[in-house]
Chains A and B, each alone.
Chain A
C-alpha cells in the first residue's frame, strides 16, 4: 500500500480556492475573499493564507490590486485545468493503472464503465 503524505495546509487551501475558480464561484477578474475572510473560513493563521496567496500569485492564478483586493487572473481556469491534468497523469493515473493490473482487470473493463456512465450522463 502506498501512503500518500498529507499536503501542507497552505497548499490545501490553494487547492480549495482553485476548486472554487473551476466551479465558477469566483469568476475571472472577480475578487476572491480577503486574507482575513479565508483565515476565518478555514480557521487558520493569516500567515498561512498569505502563503496560499503567494503560490497562487506565483502560478498566475490570482493577482493583487493594491488597496482593493485579490482577483482571479484572466485564463486562471485554463491554467488550473492544465496543471490538474498534468498532476492526474503523473500521480493518479499510474496508481489507477497499477491497481487495474493488480486486480487482473483490463482496459476493456474501464471502457465499459466509461460508456455506462456516458449513457447515464446523457
Chain B
C-alpha cells in the first residue's frame, strides 16, 4: 500500500507549493489513472513517490516504509518509466544484464513476451532506436522487473497508433496479482479501458479519487438528443451525434461504459 501523509512540496525556484497538506492512499493490485491538466503535479507526485524528490513536510510510505529512506528492499519493488529519458549506447541485452540484478523478481519470460509484442529484437542497439521504440524497450524492461509498484509517466507519448494498441495488450496481460500500476497521462483514450481507478489532480488536491466501478454505478454516460436534458444531467457536450451526457444513473438504467474524457471535463470544470 502507498500512503501520502500530509505532504507539502515546492520546487525551490517557485514560491507556490505544488502540494500543500496533500493526502492520498493507493491500494494493491490496481491500475490507477493519474489525470490532471498540464502543470498540476502529476510527474512531481510520481517522483515524490520514487523518493527522487522529498517533501518539506509529511511522509510518503510504501508498505509502511518511508520512501525518502531509499531502502534497498523498497527500491527493488519500484520502477518508473519517465516521460523523457536517455538510454546508454549499448545493446538492449547488455542493458538488461546490467540492470536486472537490482530486481530479484525479474522475469526473462515477460521481457521476451513484451519485446515480441512490440516487434523489437532483444539485441536492439539502444542508440539507434527512435524515441517511441526506446520507450517500448524501457517499458518491456519495466514490466519484466516484476516490481510491486510500477509507475509510468505519459507512457503513450511518442507511440504510433499500432504501438498504442500493443501497449494496451502488454499492460492487459502483465497485470499479475500483487502489482500496482500508476499511469500518469492526459492521453485519456489510450488508457481508459485499462483503468481500475481514476485520480484527477488539480493544484494541491484531488478533485476525484474513485474506482471505475463506483463511477459507472453512480453515473450514466450516453448520447442524447439536444432537447433531452433533465435535472439528472450533470454535464453535457455537444457532438455531431447529439449531446454527450453525464447524468446520475437511475435505478433501472443499464450500466454504460466510462467516457473518461467526458468525466475529466466534468470534474475539472467543477460540474461534478
Contact = CB atoms under 8 A, between A and B. Distances in A.
A40 interface: yes
Interface in A1-17: 1, 3, 5-9, 11-12
A47 B179 CA distance: 13
A36 B172 contact: yes
B173 interface: yes
A3 B256 contact: no
Interface SS, B side? mixed
B48 to A, nearest CB: 26
B257 A43 contact: no
A48 B255 CA distance: 13
A20 B59 CA distance: 51
Nearest to B193: A44
B91 interface: no
A91 to B, nearest CB: 12
B8 interface: no
A6 B223 CA distance: 9
Contact of A40 (B169, B195, B216, B254): B169
Tier of interface size on chain A:
20 to 34
A8 B172 contact: no
B94 interface: no
A46 interface: yes
Residue of A3, A8, A37 with most partner-chain B CB within 10 A: A3
Nearest to B166: A43
Nearest to A48: B193
Contacts of A37: 173
A39 interface: yes
B193 A5 contact: no
Contacts of B222: 3, 5-6
B67 interface: no
B104 interface: no
Nearest to B220: A5
B224 interface: yes
Contacts of B194: 43-45
A32 B5 CA distance: 45
Interface of A: 1, 3, 5-9, 11-12, 36-37, 39-40, 42-48
Given A6-B221, A9-B257, A46-B175, 19 more contacts: A3-B223, A3-B224, A3-B242, A5-B222, A5-B256, A6-B256, A7-B255, A7-B256, A8-B254, A8-B255, A8-B256, A11-B254, A36-B173, A37-B173, A39-B173, A39-B175, A43-B165, A44-B172, A46-B172
5 A-B pairs with least C-beta separation:
A43-B168, A39-B172, A8-B255, A44-B193, A40-B173
17 contacts: A1-B225, A5-B222, A5-B256, A6-B221, A6-B257, A7-B256, A8-B216, A8-B256, A9-B193, A11-B254, A36-B173, A37-B173, A39-B175, A40-B173, A43-B193, A44-B193, A45-B195
